[in-house]
A and B are shown apart, each in its own frame.
Chain A
């Protein structure tokens, strides 16, 4: 037993280490990045580029590795499970979309070494392009989902998830959210378990999802649902109080409710609401029925979509009035807060110091002082000067900041790799000067296959790869391939050698850069311009270590 201060991310990572994880895989994404950073720092002494390998006295090799994307990370985890060792894959919510194929199918295979997928949702979109709720994706995959409500539970539940995964031969999704991932609190850890080695599975059929076997596995997964629900019900916590009012909390919703419970009790003669806390899905029926039959109305407080609320409401209406996100007591968009939950509980608003007399302008993030992207966009804008027709599609990364003034140099930012596909698609139906702007890490993640499409169909487009050698936005993690290898890779994908241009992303090279971009924009085929210079953040980080 040790008392530590952990962020939710760190608690998850330490739990995996203490559960004897052998293979951990991830792609960086806020707010999940620190899970892998912590694992790499602590899994062993040896450190390589983007991975950390340790061979313990028990002879079990442990790895913690950044991968090309969430799908490759997930598939690596499947391989570790197959050979009988514990494994974890971590990502942000939208990363789960990328990993959806292995994710959904992994629920059908007979998991051997425990497999835990940690997914960090970002309600309020602090650093994301949507606020999807991963609990529904676990439901979609018919996979059990654990949702901690604080850092201690993040540790305990992740640790237990490995046991549960092995016991039920199914992956477990651990869902956390930004305010849990990035908040620190005291956590008590339990002694580490030695890494287990179950040996390679002896049931390869249960991993071979051809129709006949897949049908059998699917039936098996469906048959497990009753146990998942019963376990979830047993793990949920019911405390009956008021016969008038009941509260159902999920995950971090409990923290915001508890912040206000005392005030509610004071306003109601000392009586507390009846309350049920749910931390596991699919939800069980028993305690929900016990709560609903005890009270006259219910409030559901959950982070993300109204998932439990929708179930509770059903198509023909709930047995007692239910308030929550679907009825507007709690906002449907954005993360929960102690204040929004307070309002939903009918407690008076707390006011801070009155508004000030002057307008306080926003201070949006911007390119770092000396950022190579800034010089790349200066060159691109100059190259497009006087051109009426162009389409400049961009991607997920710091360079999306170029959507704002003074740059206003990009026109889209949708998902990882979309810049290449969108520019190609537009070019294929006649758009002139179709440009994709993507970073090196995002290109390796999801841009390469789009470029293959462009090459195969000779779609006249120009791709700018802003190669800063790192995944900058998430704090400068190493990319999966080196800058020196990129031209070779592009050639291998079929881009003509004379239309692969490697330029320096620096203001001192601006004239040459503008001229080269203009030349390639005029070319009626696929051209790729690699703008090279190291990320400032990465340089700072390298200097520190």
Chain B
């Protein structure tokens, strides 16, 4: 069993911390993991990218080969389109948030961006911001997305919840509850 996951978004969205949550949950569930990210200038409102590889056998490359990703979590819709050459044709699933971050002058028409995502087989386009607000904190949108693909992850939801609690506990109980709720709301979404 191998599950290769790409996390992409825009600097400041917290995409990298979600990859840590899933990595820790996978390890606690007995898997080997390798997680790779690029820091530095990419934090400043630019593209952010992390690769996470989960397997029950030794993992070699720190980054995912092209055409091998099982899941792409895109915390911003345009970013989903940037990394499609990594997505497995046979089994890959894009899980993308709908709300654009318009910090570049040449951002394409958002409807055509969403349209392109809808064309990808199995794509899950999620109104993560709305659900995150319902959960009590718009910054928990990332966990809505993770919840929306919980059925595709090799780790049980309880293991993820445990790591969510561990990661957010120092930010207070309200933050923990909002993120757990966001994860639950994501899991409740029915996919076509």
Contacts and interface: CB of A to CB of B under 8 A. Distances in A.
A354 B92 CA distance: 12
B62 A365 contact: no
A352 B44 contact: no
A361 B104 contact: yes
Task: Determine chain A's interface SS by DSSP, over half rule.
Answer: loop
A342 B66 CA distance: 11
A256 B61 contact: yes
A426 B34 CA distance: 49
A187 to B, nearest CB: 12
Nearest to B64: A338
| Residue of B47, B63, B86 contacting most chain A CB atoms (<10 Å) | B63
A258 interface: yes
Contacts of A127: 38-42
B81 A356 contact: yes
Contact of B87 (A259, A353, A398): A353
A337 interface: yes
Interface string A462-505: 00000000000111000000000000000000000000000000
B38 A186 contact: no
Contact of B39 (A182, A254, A357): A182
A183 B69 contact: no
A357 B119 CA distance: 10
A64 to B, nearest CB: 20
B27 A186 contact: yes
Contacts, number: 155
A352 B89 contact: yes
B23 A363 contact: no
**Contact count band on A:** 35 or more
Contacts of A337: 61, 63, 65
B65 A339 contact: yes
Contacts of B45: 363, 365-366, 368-369
B19 to A, nearest CB: 10
Interface string A281-294: 00000000000000
A346 B116 CA distance: 33
A365 to B, nearest CB: 3
Interface stretch (B107-115, B130-138, B154-162, B180-188): B107-115
Given A352-B85, A366-B46, A183 B65 contact: no
Interface residues of B, number: 53
A365 B43 contact: yes
Interface in A344-370: 349-369
Given A352-B67, A401-B44, A363 B108 contact: no
A186 B31 CA distance: 10
Contacts of A183: 34-37, 62-63
A185 B79 CA distance: 26
A338 B89 contact: no
A255 interface: yes
A184 interface: yes
A179 interface: yes
B33 interface: yes
Interface in B101-146: 103-104, 106-108, 112-113, 116, 119-120
Interface of A: 5, 30-31, 126-127, 178-180, 182-186, 252, 254-259, 337-339, 342, 349-369, 398, 401, 473-475, 537
The 5 closest A-B pairs by CB, nearest first: A127-B40, A365-B46, A350-B67, A183-B62, A365-B44
